[in-house]
Structures are given as structure tokens and as C-alpha cells.
């Protein structure tokens, strides 16, 4: 990706080395910390329903948000994050001039305290609706390369764009809608709701990708890398890897084919209206 000349976002906060290391399992662990710890290891963050569930519980301990400074100028990876986030902010402001407000993005390492509870790197990147922040541990990019063989800059940008997609869903009220629906649903139905939410975030990531392509940011191999990433983190692929079998009812993010399909959909149209994963028969 040609990202070097992009205007940097001013919304990236660096929480590395801020003493963010939390005593996981320690005496002071919050309810949220426990719940989040249970889903550790999920690629692409916690099950969104878990986060929504935390919001439900009225959070007895009201987890606080850590604050940080902008990352240093000589940190190439952080510069990349600031550059692509800046382009995403510009893009969404054009698409949704009335509704869009930028999210914060916190870079952390090890563990972090969010308004959704304490989280650690093993969970992968996630978006926390109550503090409107994307949480990103850079080691996930390494994992994307080594475990999933998705090497391009655009694959890394897709990860961020997916989380920004969750922010857009939050602004549009979609996250609230999902939360209300799931309150009266069975486990299987609630999982299906999660899949729809996740695939829409993939489609929104593609919507941004459409603009990245239009602005000539993509280089050879970029698109392939992102599609490799989208495919690699499908629930079927992850389940096959981790447990040797596939259980579709337990999917929360969608299959590899679905993730690729919806990312492509956004990429092709460049329109969020084309990302209606919720209407019947759309998946």
C-alpha cells in the first residue's frame, strides 16, 4: 500500500509501556475481565455478543478507560496505523457526513483496560462500543503473517477497517439493534445475529477498500493479501484448525466464503447500503 503520504489521524493513542499490564486473574479482576478471559484466543476480538452482554450487566465495577499519548514518529508500524486510520476517517466522513465521528484507536501490548473490561493480546483486535475505541495489539499483525500467511499492508489495513466498521455500526445504532434482538433469542439465533454483525463489518471494511483503491493506494498483491486474511479468519477455517471439525451453529463471525463475499461486496460497490446482511436470505 502507498500509505506514506497519507495524512495521519490524530486519534491514535499509544498505551504500550503505560503500565497497562493488568493482573489477569488477580484479586481485583472485574466481571468483565473474567468474561473476556474466557473468550481469549478468538481471532478478531471477542465475540461481539460478549461485549454487548457486558454492557447489559450494568458493569458493577465500571471499568475505566486507559489514556495514552500519540505514538512516536519513528515507529513505522504506528505510523502505518495512523495513516490508514486517517484515510478511513476521511472516507467515512464523505460517506456519512452527518453521522460519522472518528473513533479512537488504542495501541496496546500485553493487556489493557477498556470500558468493556480488561483484555489481552490473545483476543486479537476489538472495538469497545462504550468508549468508542478500537483496541489493537501490533502482535496481531505478526500473527496474520505467520499463522495466516496474509502479508500485505492492505491485509493489516483490513483488520483496522473491520474494527472501524464496528464503530460505524455503533454510530448507526446497529449495535443497539443487535443487543435488543438477542435479548429474546436462543443461543443459535444470537450467534446468527453476531455473524450478520461481523459480516457487515467486513463489508464496511470493503467499502473503505473501494475508496483506497479509487485513491490508488493499492499495490500488486495488496488485494490478494486482504482476501487471504478474510478467508483465513473464517469460523470454519479457525474451527478446523483448533478443534478439527466445523460446527456452523456456533459460528459468530461467518465462514471463510462469507467473509470474502461480504468484503468483496463492499469493495465493489463502495456503498454501505449494499452491506445489508440483516435482511432475510442475504447471507
Q: Which residues bind Zn ion (CB under 5 A)?
A: 44, 198, 201
Q: Measured from the CB of residue 155, what is the shortest distance to Zn ion in angstroms?
A: 15
Q: Which is nearer to Zn ion, 44 or 262 (CB)?
A: 44
β-pairing verdict for 117-120 and 126-128: unpaired
Q: Measured from the CB of residue 268, what is the shortest distance to Zn ion in angstroms?
A: 21
**CB distance 1 to 217 below 8 Å:** yes
Residue 12, beta-bridge partner list? 105
Q: Measured from the CB of residue 202, what is the shortest distance to Zn ion in angstroms?
A: 8
Report long-range pairs for 273-278 (Cβ below 8 Å, ≥24 apart). Answer: 274/203, 274/207, 275/200, 275/203, 275/204, 275/207, 276/200, 277/195, 277/196, 277/197, 277/199, 277/200, 277/203, 278/196, 278/200
Q: Which is nearer to Zn ion, 30 or 200 (CB)?
A: 200
**CB distance 222 to 150 below 8 Å:** no
Burial class, 57, CB count within 10 angstroms (exposed 0-12 / middle 13-18 / buried 19+): exposed
Q: Measured from the CB of residue 60, what is the shortest distance to Zn ion in angstroms?
A: 26
CA atoms of 227 and 263, how far apart (whole Å): 8
Q: Measured from the CB of residue 70, what is the shortest distance to Zn ion in angstroms?
A: 25
| Phi/psi of residue 106, nearest 5 degrees | -105, 125
Q: Measured from the CB of residue 221, what is the shortest distance to Zn ion in angstroms?
A: 24
CA atoms of 88 and 134, how far apart (whole Å): 13
CA atoms of 69 and 12, how far apart (whole Å): 8
CA atoms of 75 and 82, how far apart (whole Å): 11
Q: Measured from the CB of residue 273, what is the shortest distance to Zn ion in angstroms?
A: 20
Q: Which is nearer to Zn ion, 105 or 201 (CB)?
A: 201
Q: How far is Cα of residue 240 from the mean position of the Cα atoms in its chain?
A: 22
| Phi/psi of residue 191, nearest 5 degrees | -65, -40
Q: Measured from the CB of residue 72, what is the shortest distance to Zn ion in angstroms?
A: 28
Q: Which is nearer to Zn ion, 71 or 266 (CB)?
A: 266
Amino acid at each position: 500500500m502507498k500509505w506514506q503520504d497519507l495524512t495521519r489521524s490524530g486519534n491514535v493513542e499509544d498505551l504500550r509501556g503505560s503500565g497497562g499490564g493488568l493482573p489477569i486473574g488477580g484479586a481485583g479482576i472485574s466481571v468483565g475481565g473474567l468474561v473476556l478471559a474466557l473468550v481469549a484466543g478468538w481471532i478478531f476480538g471477542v465475540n461481539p455478543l460478549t461485549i454487548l452482554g457486558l454492557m447489559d450487566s450494568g458493569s458493577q465495577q465500571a471499568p475505566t478507560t486507559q489514556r495514552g499519548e500519540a505514538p512516536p514518529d519513528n515507529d513505522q508500524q504506528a505510523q502505518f496505523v495512523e495513516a490508514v486510520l486517517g484515510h478511513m476517517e476521511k472516507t467515512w466522513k464523505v460517506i456519512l457526513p452527518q453521522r460519522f465521528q472518528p473513533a479512537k484507536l488504542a495501541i496496546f501490548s500485553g493487556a489493557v483496560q477498556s470500558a468493556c473490561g480488561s483484555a489481552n493480546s490473545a483476543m486479537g483486535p476489538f472495538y469497545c462500543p462504550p468508549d468508542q475505541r478500537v483496541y489493537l495489539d501490533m502482535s496481531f499483525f505478526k500473527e496474520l503473517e505467520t499463522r495466516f500467511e496474509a502479508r500485505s499492508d492492505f491485509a493489516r489495513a483490513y483488520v483496522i477497517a473491520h474494527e472501524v466498521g464496528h464503530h460505524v455500526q455503533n454510530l448507526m445504532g446497529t449495535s443497539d439493534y443487535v443487543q435488543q434482538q438477542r435479548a429474546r433469542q436462543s443461543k443459535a439465533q444470537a450467534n446468527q445475529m453476531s455473524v450478520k454483525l461481523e459480516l457487515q463489518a467486513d463489508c464496511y471494511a470493503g467499502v473503505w477498500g473501494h475508496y483506497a483503491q479509487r485513491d490508488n493506494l493499492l499495490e500488486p498483491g495488496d488485494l490478494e493479501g486482504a482476501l487471504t486474511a478474510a478467508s483465513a479468519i473464517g469460523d470454519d477455517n479457525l474451527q478446523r484448525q483448533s478443534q478439527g471439525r466445523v460446527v456452523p451453529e456456533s459460528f459468530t463471525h461467518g465462514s471463510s466464503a462469507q467473509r470474502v463475499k461480504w468484503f468483496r461486496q463492499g469493495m465493489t460497490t463502495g456503498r454501505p447500503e449494499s452491506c445489508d446482511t440483516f435482511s432475510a436470505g442475504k447471507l
